[in-house]
Amino acid sequence: MSTFWSISRGVSRATGDAARASGQAQRAQSQVAELEARCDRAMLVCEALWTLMRDRLGIPEEELVQRVNDIDLSDGTLDGKVRKPNAHVCPQCNRTIAKRFPKCIYCGQPVVHDPFA
């Protein structure tokens, strides 16, 4: 009889675990859908801003591409990501370091911090 109850408890526990996992998966899918919608809206706004700049100010697409690359490279890596707000790039070794350090932790170069950042 005790074997039956232990199997029954195990099945009940597994059913509960499966239900929790299913709920977590549904929440994750909902969060992904929300992030996709936000990303789509951001892309739409960026496209609108770009076309306004191009059409009204005459800025060539090459200049936009160059600016995107410059901003992307501001952390020393062309990786499609924006620089971390609490980081600097060492002017000597081009490595990313935290703003709290007055010198590069890799090469010792003093780092001048922008007082308006």
How many CB atoms are closer than 10 A to CB 80? 7
Is residue 24, in this structure, part of any structural domain at all? yes
* Structural domain for 19, as ranges: 1-43
Is residue 111, in this structure, part of any structural domain at all? no
pTM over 0.85, yes/no? no
> SS3 of 29, please?
helix
Is residue 83, in this structure, part of any structural domain at all? no
Write phi, then psi, for 112 (nearest 5 degrees).
-85, 125
Is residue 28, in this structure, part of any structural domain at all? yes
User: Token digits for 10?
Assistant: 């195990």
pLDDT in tens, 48-76: 999 999 999 999 999 999 999 998 887 77
75 in Cβ contact with 84 (< 8 Å):
yes
Structurally, the chain folds into a number of domains equal to 1
